[in-house]
Amino acid sequence: MQNLTSDNFKLRLRKSISVAWALFIRKVANGTLPINKEASMQLQYAYILQQLLPLICFKNDEKAFIELETGVQFNSSTKEIDLLLIGQNDKDTHKISIEMKYYRTLASSGGNRGATDIFMKDVYVDLELLENYITNDISNESIALVMTDKRNLVFPKNRNAKCWDYDISHNKIITNGINITTPIGGKNINITLSKSYNFQWEKHYDFYFLELEGY
- Is 92 inside a domain boundary? yes
Q: By residue range, what is the domain housing residue 109?
A: 3-157+201-212
Q: What is the pLDDT of residue 27?
A: 97
Nearest to 201 by CA among 126, 122, 158, 145: 145
Rg of the chain over all Cα atoms, to the nearest angstrom: 17
Alpha carbon distances (Å) from 171 to 20, 92, 199: 23, 36, 5
Query: pTM (2 decimals)?
Result: 0.95
Q: pLDDT of 117-167, one tens digit each?
A: 999 999 999 999 999 999 999 999 999 999 999 999 999 999 988 999 999
pLDDT in the model for residue 186: 87
Residue 122: inside a domain, yes or no? yes
d(CA 169, CA 2): 30
Least reliable range by pLDDT among 21-25, 32-36, 57-61: 32-36
- Long-range Cβ pairs for the range 69-72 (8 Å, 24+): 72/133, 72/136, 72/138
Which tens digits make up the pLDDT trace of 10-22?
999 999 999 999 9
Residue 190 lies in a domain: no
Per the domain annotation, does 172 fall within a domain? no
Tell me the mean pLDDT in the region 81-90: 97
SS3 21: helix
Predicted confidence band at 75 (pLDDT cuts at 50, 70, 90)?
A: confident
Question: Does residue 162 fall inside a structural domain?
Answer: no
Average the pLDDT over 188-201 and give the result. Answer: 97
152 and 161 Cβ atoms separated by less than 8 Å: no
Residue 63 lies in a domain: yes
Q: Is the pLDDT of residue 193 over 70?
A: yes
Residue-level pLDDT at 111: 64
Is pLDDT of 99 > 70?
yes
Confirm whether 167 is domain-assigned. no
Q: For the chain, where are the alpha helices, taking DSSP H only?
A: 9-29, 38-52, 116-135, 151-154
Indicate the number of domains in the chain.
Answer: 1
